[in-house]
Every structure is written in structure tokens, then in C-alpha cells.
Amino acid sequence: MSSIKQQYHDIVHTKLEDAQLRKNLLSVMDTLKGNRKKLISTRFLDWEALRQKGKEIKQKNLSKLDNLLETFESNALKNGFIIHWAKNSEEANQIVLEVMQKNGITKILKGKSMASEETHLNAFLKQKGLEPIETDLGEIIIQLIDEPPVHIVAPAIHKNRYQIGEIFHQKLGAPLESEPEKLNEIARVHLRKEFKEFRLGLSGVNFAIANEGAIWLLENEGNGRMSTTACDIHIAFCGIEKVIESFEDASTLNALLIPSATGAPVTCYNNIIASPRKEGELDGPKEVHII
């Protein structure tokens, strides 16, 4: 235990002395906070009243969470979803493994999921000889260098564009670039071949709507939509605190979430998934599991 503690302190001191790391974090965090402050002052008439309403909604939903979970399960089952309950990380990861093994799948493409980060799903699957592939741009960057995310919204916030260019150059054999458009293109080309042939996609859940038995996913890159609609099987990792009674409640929380997360009024993509592919539909997964 003492050696682990010492290792922890060594890492902290090393990172605190990293001038480039401190500069990267300061720059991006100042930008995010500045964007949020500007948006709140120019777009909202009474931001604090909206926050209070959001607080009341969360407290209301948490006070009857046991009933909402059962309502969500009942309605989701009617919609054709497959529902799993996991009491801990091990059970959640094991469910993913069993779905993969049952269907003879060795590779999974992942949209952003903080819950799967908390369960260490990637490490678990790798130990089983399986291949988890991140598709969020920030997650791709840190997966290539085998680091954990450092921020819930921007996983690679500690890397600047020049460092990212070096990572893509070294790990993907891409030309050395530093312009954001070029870096995005490198990541897009890298993933395109994976999206053409994958069978299983994974996502998180931003809101699980109990009254509808539907899930609502927010994202800005389009990878989340690809990961949940272009595959044969979709697995959604959902913490129980994501269950909300109605779309009206979720909409209020969404109006608070996006400005505080990114300093933007809305996300580029709002994906509301109400069922797996139905008869006669041309796209969407044939099977959707919600853990």
C-alpha cells in the first residue's frame, strides 16, 4: 500500500511540473468556462431559476426511482428492448462478454460511455482476447496512448493539437498534421473501415425515459449515431440515475446540461432510440440491449 501511495504522489508531482500540460488544461478550461458564461448571459432570461427547476426535477425523480426503474423496464420491454440488471462492474462487463460470445463477435465499436470507463470495460474485454475500439475523437486519442480520460466531456483535454498530430503520426502512420480539420480527417479515415464491417456497437445513455421506454443520447461527432444504428446489435450502458420520468423532465435537464458541458446551446446530434429495427425498416440494429 505504501508503494502505491508513493507512486500516486510521484505522478502528481510530475504532472504538476509539466508546463505544457498545465498550459493545455488552462487554455481549454478557460475556453469552456468562458463559452458557458457568455451563453448563459446572452441566451437565458433566468438561468438560476432554470437550475432550481432542474434540481427539483432530479429530486422528484430520485425520490421515486424504484418505481421509475420498473416503469422503464416494462415499457422498454414492450418496445422490443432486451433489459439486463447489473449490481456491479463485474456483472455489467460480463453481460457484454456474453452477448459477444453468443454472437461470435470479437470486436466492439464504442460511442462515448463514462459508465463503461467506470467499469473498466475495455481492459476487461482485452483480457478476454476481444477488441474494444473507441470512436469518440477524444477517446481515440487517449486509447492510442493507453491513457484514461482526464475530463468527462473532453477526454483528451490535456493534449494540444501538435501533440495529437504526433500521436496520430506515431500510432496510425498518418502524415504529421496539426490543423484540427486535418486531425479530424485522419480519425475519420481511420474509423471508416471499422464502421463498414462492424456488428456490435456500444453507447452510454444520457436520459432513459420511463414513460416511453426510450433512451436519449447526446453527441457532437456523429460517431454515436453510427455506433448505435449501423450495427446488428446495440448495447447501451445506463446508470440507474439516468432514468427520468418524462420527455418534458428530460428536456429541462437537457437545456441545463449542454451549456454547462460545452458552452453550446444544443448538441449536433440528438438520438432518441425507441426500439430496435422494426419489420419493414431498412436500418437500425436488429437487437438492442440496455444494461
pLDDT digit string, tens, across residues 208-245: 999 999 999 999 988 999 999 999 999 999 999 999 99
Superfamily of domain 46-290: NagB/RpiA/CoA transferase-like (3.40.50.10420)
Cell of 223: 460517431
**CB-count exposure of residue 58 (10 Å: 0-12, 13-18, 19+):** middle
Amino acid letter at 5?
A: K
CA-based nearest residue to 255, from 214, 207, 204 = 207
- Of 150-154, 183-187, 247-251, the range with the lowest mean pLDDT is 150-154
Per-residue CA distances from 124 to 116, 130, 143, 289 (Å): 10, 9, 14, 19
Report DSSP state, residue 214. E
Averaged pLDDT, 188-203? 93
* Sequence-distant (≥ 6) Cβ neighbours of residue 41 within 8 angstroms: none
User: Domain residue spans in the chain?
Assistant: 46-290
Average model confidence (pLDDT) for the chain?
94
Residue 249 confidence (pLDDT): 97
* Sequence-distant (≥ 6) Cβ neighbours of residue 284 within 8 angstroms: 229, 276, 277, 278
pTM of the complete model: 0.92
User: Which phi and psi (to 5°) does residue 157 adopt?
Assistant: -65, -20
pLDDT greater than 90 at residue 15:
no
Per-residue pLDDT band at 1 (split at 50, 70, 90): low
Helix (H) or strand (E) holding 78: helix 65-78
SS (H, E, C) 83-149: ECCCCCHHHHHHHHHHHHHHCCCCEEEECCCHHHHHCCHHHHHHHCCCEEEECCHHHHHHHHCCCCC
Averaged pLDDT, 101-130? 96
Cell of 282: 431498412
Q: Regarding beta strands 107-110 and 82-83, do their DSSP bridges make them parallel or antiparallel, or are they unpaired? A: unpaired
SS3 58: helix
Output the furthest CA–CA distance in the chain (Å, rounded).
62
Q: What is the rounded radius of gyration, in angstroms, for the C-alpha atoms of the chain?
A: 20
pLDDT tens digits for range 154-177: 888 899 999 999 999 999 999 999
pLDDT tens digits for range 88-107: 999 999 999 999 999 999 99
